[in-house]
Amino acid sequence: MSDQITDRKAKLDKIRALGVDPYGTRFPNVTSHADIRAAAEGLRIEAGQISAEPAACCRAAGRIVLYRDIGSLIFMTVRDRSGELQFGLSKKMLLEATEGRRDEGTKGSNAARVARFSTLDFRNTLDEGTRSVEPVPRRAGGEDAGLGAPAPQDPTVPWKVAKLLDLGDIVGVAGRLGRTKTGELTLWAEQFSLLSKAVRPPPEKYHGLTDIEARYRRRYVDLAANPVSQRVFILRARIIDHIRDVLRRRAFIEVETPVLQPIYGGAAARPFLTHHNTLDQDLYLRISPELYLKRCLVGGLERVYEFARCFRNEGISPRHNPEFTMLELYQAYGDYHDMMDLTEEIVSGAARDLIGSMTIPFGDQEIDYTPPWPRRKYADLFAEHVGFPLTDMAKVRERARQLLEQKATTLDERKADDEIVVNALFEHYVERHLVNPTFVLDYPASLCPLTKRHPQDPSVALRFELFISGMEIGNAYSELNDPAVQHETFSRQLRGEEGETMAVMDEDYVEALECGLPPAGGLGLGIDRLVMLLTGSPSIRDVILFPLQRPQALA
RNA sequence: GAGGGCGUAGCUCAGUCGGUAGAGCAACGGCCUUUUAAGCCGUGGGUCCAGGGUUCGAGUCCCUGCGCCCUCACCA
């Protein structure tokens, strides 16, 4: 039992004894701190002054991150999602303002008071939708926190409540902008409302929350205490917005396909198994949305995409989370070259528009996203980095045996087909060298059961994977649309890792192809990994709000 | 799954050779109308991750377990 929590709960009682609800309600017409700062530029307030301009009246809210009580004057640094702003509370000023309102309480309407504090008239760029441009009159006895309270009030109450504030509390203020004698922009409160009392103390104000486990388990504390963490998730949202913009311009439509699937497919991975009680049916959480999205193309939707949460029952690492988000899209009448162009536009555009730089550091690397990116053939890269051609199976298998001896792989080449062994070497020797964005194209066909074959060389599939910083970021095909070939590749079980196959027979999918799948390019992009790269986050858990953690008894 | 590292106050961290558990921030009491991680005076706060062992004595050494991080394997 923490003393600090006890102390703070005691303050709750004191605040309630003053007739104030420590958990406020609506606080309308708030201007973001960033917008207040921008507007204050135009007011030209001198140091040590409080502006008399009507435009200097505004309302703001946020969480107290610093609190400096210097007697009859309190300064607090308050954070909203746009930034920080200093609120100033003066005992004398609050008292006079509260007395003034009590006197006019019998004649002035609540709406009029709200209007008085809504005069900052500029477009609120961050806040459209929550800030009403027109003051919104509430019904008599409105619900606005603090402001809606019955007018007659002991004028000393606001100051008494202010003295009971703690770091982490959420407050709202209505007042006038000024500058202190050191020039710091300050919102001097004529009214203030306690909107939410925090009964748990925030982390240390300078270092924030640094314990990695605590940041994942209690992400709300991490977000509140560490603006850099907020920035990652804001950027993640903007990256997704950016992708939607690109696809919208190209007439793609966003669709949703099943997460619960009776047959899993579209990738090689172990699935999660679940069960529907009423149907008494086993179901898999999807490992990929691919087969459903291509059914949409059969139906004529032509250009579809999905931000698909996928689930793979595999190991966890800084680059792997059991659930992750993949953008998949399909474009009728296109091929994998179109997908390369689109991928370049999406990723390099995000770097340019959202990060503002075509080179972004990742770990100790500096990644250059400037298009066009190299487009290298799988076989060429293999020969270059492994040292002999991938057709030399004697050498390939010999090298694979060496890797197994060194425990650098678990693949036993004696139990695996040629292409599987080749690919194991590729993954071990080649991928780590692909630091700047690189398209690897023309994979061995048997690794790609859903991909169209090269017209001149049926051993090669029209597929590329995109690598950045040694990570696979994207994967795209010229989609296989011949139902007979599809049926055959589904039937042919490639020998690889135990319990895994490259594809599972999906009769309904083959039947869909028999109805006619237009030739198409398809693309999968790993959103989490893309966000890692663009935000410089070394672990996938840094870009997933609530990463899976083993359960732990709460302290 | 294998190997390595870490776990001390609400938070950030010290803790020597095995000898009474420490600091800053936060908290509590007091002072302060221009602070900027405010300052000054005073005070309280510990299942040293858990369990076992060695020892006169364990935060420290050993074993087991739990959690997290890293590397490797699997995987995208």
Per-residue pLDDT tens for A437-453? 999 999 999 888 899 99
* Residue A185 pLDDT: 97
Closest nucleotide to A2 by C1' from CA? B10
Which residue gives the smallest C-alpha to C1' distance to B47?
Answer: A555
* Residue A475 pLDDT: 95
* Residue A493 pLDDT: 59
Closest nucleotide to A70 by C1' from CA? B32
Per-residue pLDDT of A384-410, as tens digits, reads 999 999 999 999 999 999 888 888 888
| Protein CA A304 to sugar C1' B36 (Å) | 52
| Protein CA A128 to sugar C1' B51 (Å) | 57
* Partners of A521 in beta bridges: A331, A478
| Protein CA A205 to sugar C1' B26 (Å) | 8
* Residue A553 pLDDT: 54
Closest nucleotide to A184 by C1' from CA? B36
* Residue A408 pLDDT: 84
* Residue A416 pLDDT: 85
Under 8 Å between Cβ of A504 and A450: no
Closest nucleotide to A207 by C1' from CA? B12
* Residue A150 pLDDT: 45
Residues of chain A with pLDDT below 70 are: 1-2, 102-153, 493-503, 553-555
| Of the candidates A96, A82, A92, A83, the residue with the CA atom closest to the CA atom of residue A127 | A82
Under 8 Å between Cβ of A55 and A39: yes
* Residue A391 pLDDT: 93
Give the relative orientation of helices A527-535 and A227-249 as an angle to the nearest 10 degrees.
Answer: 120
| Protein CA A214 to sugar C1' B52 (Å) | 28
* Residue A406 pLDDT: 83
Closest nucleotide to A214 by C1' from CA? B68
Residue A102, C-beta contacts closer than 8 angstroms, at least 6 positions apart? A151, A152, A153, A155
| Protein CA A142 to sugar C1' B35 (Å) | 35
| Protein CA A112 to sugar C1' B34 (Å) | 31
Backbone angles phi, psi at A51, to 5 degrees: -70, 140
* Residue A243 pLDDT: 98
Q: What is the largest CA-CA distance in chain A?
A: 96
Q: Is the entire prediction scored with pTM above 0.80?
A: yes
| Protein CA A210 to sugar C1' B16 (Å) | 27
Both tokens of residue A321?
A: 């989370």
* Residue A91 pLDDT: 94
Which residue gives the smallest C-alpha to C1' distance to B45?
Answer: A3
Closest nucleotide to A551 by C1' from CA? B67
* Residue A104 pLDDT: 60
Interface ipTM? 0.91
Give percent above pLDDT 70 in chain A.
Answer: 88
Nucleotides of B under 7 A from a protein CB: 1, 10-13, 24-28, 31-39, 44-45, 66-76
| Protein CA A345 to sugar C1' B75 (Å) | 27
